[in-house]
Chains A and B, each alone.
Chain A
Amino acid sequence: MTNYHLDHLQHLETEAIHIMREVAGEFERPALLFSGGKDSICLLRLAEKAFRPSDLPLPLLNVDTGHHFPELNEFRDRRATELGAKLIVRRVEDAIASGIASPAPGEISRNKLQIPTLLAAIEEFRFDCCIGGARRDEEKARAKERFFSYRDSFGQWDPKNQRPEIWNLYNGRLHSGENMRVFPLSNWTEMDVWEYIGRERLEVPSIYFSHRRECVRRHGQWLPVSPFLPLKPQEQTRELVVRVRTIGDIISTGLVESPAETVDDIITEIAAARVTERGSRSDDKASEAAMEDRKKAGYF
């Protein structure tokens, strides 16, 4: 190795590993938010790169809305076992039962109910830091996010009052009850994530690849037919060859018609894509500030 050069993925990787190790060094009770989605799959590999040959020094945490794709949960559980990692799952269902989360009348989406469920889990395990897979290229409010995102004792993000982040020096100091959200993939794009998955030969849940599925057209999107999405009168279902580009809840994740069967196919597809990844998430379309509002309330 005489050419001391890192390519763009190696740069992003070393930046993320550095951040992971800062978390291990500065926090007493960190956790890593692992959903089984493509971004958190990269996070897990980066955690391995940061901490092996030791065991991962932090548990995995997932908030299960009860509306997850079954393929995702199966993958999540299996991957945690393979890595010998501790997996903590907290369910929105249980949070509703215990009164921690209260659904708005008539609201089917569990999206907002993730927030109190997550905050309750943070309190239960006294986590002082949660590593998440959010990326700045996903959404306008996220573009303003820091690597180390300070949250007050109510879990709130205050975009006007963020700690300046200079060079690679992160201020992780907290008072008790406060919390840090840390985003090692901040500088990654959707393309970087898939190229990294390709380079590292990471397994991803099968629903990222094209498969046949019963779909229904709603709000200009193909949604998967499931018990959580009762059909309206006159709605017709169709069997299509589709895949997911980003995974949210099964009731809000738009499916894209795609023949992509491999990671390379997906990379080619994204290179030619004309809509953003979040364009297929109806939870983000609620208003121009949908993400900003959820983040201020404690969303990751």
Chain B
Amino acid sequence: MFTEEIMPPPAPAHTPVDILRFNTCGSVDDGKSTLIGRLLYDSKSLMEDQVEALERSADITSGGQINLANLTDGLRAEREQGITIDVAYRYFATPRRKFIIADTPGHVQYTRNMVTGASNANVSIILVDARLGVIEQSRRHTAIASLLRIPHLVVAINKMDIVGWSEARFNEIRAQFEEFLPRLDIKDVKFIPLSALNGDNVVTASPHTPWYPGPPLLGHLESVHIGSDWNLHGFRLPVQWVNRPNNPRDPALHDFRGFSGQIAGGVVRVGQKILALPAGLATTVKQIWTLDGPLTEAFCPQSVTLVLEHDIDISRGSMLIGLDETLPGAGTDLHAKVCWMHPRPLQRGKKYLLKHTSSTVQAVVTEIEHRLDITSLEPESVPSELALNDLGEIRIRTARPLFYDSYATNRLTGSFILIEPGTNATVAAGMLLPARELVKPEAADYII
């Protein structure tokens, strides 16, 4: 049924202007994988050998019926059990944008996987089965999107064909959502009625929804404004690597000492005064070095190498910050929301390694303040431990001070992971809450 639809695509002027990352979440059988398959198929992002492989497996397993979900279920166990085990990434492009899809499974371990798939997303797509309406899972997925502060949300109301394309049903589900949305922190929500199986309102507008004035899903993803999703206020450069040529052939490089990293916030300019932490010493930016030549200014998330006016003790894990805008928090006592990602629960008093930007420090969990209700994000109980897939608010003490922003201000300098020593497992994703104390530049305002 699909082969006849394949037409030679127009050779596109292949110049996507930017990248949009989105993740899809839904329960088992909401049609998530089918939706992704449909997006790829209808946007002509599938190749003949992929369609051929689909048809081959259709003949073997499902009596000739092509299963679009087989496109994303990459591992043998997944195909056999008809489930999605882990986060799978898919790519496609239209002339307007390049898209990165993180497909996260809806069954057990959904919280952990969704946090993984959604952490870098610009958009989260929540799939809702039009027959079932808003269920517990829909609330959870929306809450996690809110917790991770994903800038844009799409509620894709799927299987509309089964409810006779009923506008009343669509409005009913929309009202169910709007009831709990105000309690969460989500700014931009779009509701789209569709049928992933039949392709209505996925890539092309459906003739069945004259009452729906908006764009199909792809049209929305192509046009949603993501320009302001990066933080451009408050310069932050976590130093990843000290760049010191060993035996440079070029004599001009004999004294070269640069600090390499990806700008995690704001803008930096040559001549700008900056503060190096934890040294607490101020200096100015002498040069912004890149392989493509020096820059006069650079911004988040560019990767650069800074040469500074003074010789200061800076190494991997140091943070360079701007002095003219918001200052970061500083300290060893941290307050954070966490998602627990490991079968071995979090216990108070246990020591972990905490990785924040480019620095890894020892840390101890001093307090588990509460577990958060997974659908409302409200404090729920004061537990003695946090188990796999739990969300909670905790207090942590670190062996060395951290320089950080709240997650609400900056995703990159406001996030961390916890690593269990011994097993080296990544056990938690953490989002920092606002600091009690900020860096005090006046205390350090001298130049050596």
Contact = CB atoms under 8 A, between A and B. Distances in A.
Contact of B48 (A139, A144, A165, A275): A275
A25 B240 contact: yes
A21 B240 contact: yes
A139 B100 CA distance: 15
Interface string A265-300: 001100111111001000000001100100000000
B289 interface: yes
A59 interface: no
Interface of B: 6, 8-9, 11-12, 14, 16-19, 47-50, 53, 57, 72-77, 79, 85-91, 93, 97-98, 100, 112-113, 115-116, 119-120, 227, 230, 232, 240-241, 243-246, 248, 250, 253, 256, 258, 260-262, 267, 289-292, 295-297, 299-303, 316, 341, 353, 355-356, 358, 411-412, 415-417, 419, 424-426, 429
Given A4-B299, A14-B262, A275 B14 contact: no
Interface in A57-86: none
14 contacts: A4-B300, A8-B98, A18-B240, A18-B301, A21-B260, A49-B290, A143-B89, A144-B85, A159-B85, A160-B85, A167-B411, A168-B412, A169-B415, A173-B424
Interface of A: 1, 4-8, 10-15, 17-18, 21-22, 24-25, 48-55, 136-137, 139-144, 159-160, 162-169, 171, 173-175, 186-187, 189, 191-192, 195, 267-268, 271-276, 279, 288-289, 292
B386 to A, nearest CB: 15
Most buried by A among B115, B291, B341, B353: B291
A167 B19 CA distance: 16
Nearest to A11: B19
Contacts of A159: 75, 85-86
A48 B291 CA distance: 7
Contacts of A195: 14
A12 to B, nearest CB: 8
In this complex, which of A11, A140, A268 has the most chain B Cβ atoms within 10 angstroms of its Cβ?
Answer: A140
A226 B332 CA distance: 65
Contacts of B262: 14, 17-18, 21, 168
A24 B303 contact: no
Contacts of A22: 240, 358
B74 A143 contact: yes
Contacts of B301: 6, 11, 14-15, 18
A165 B302 contact: no
B87 A276 contact: no
A50 B18 contact: no
Contacts of A49: 290-292, 303
A163 B89 contact: no
B11 A8 contact: no
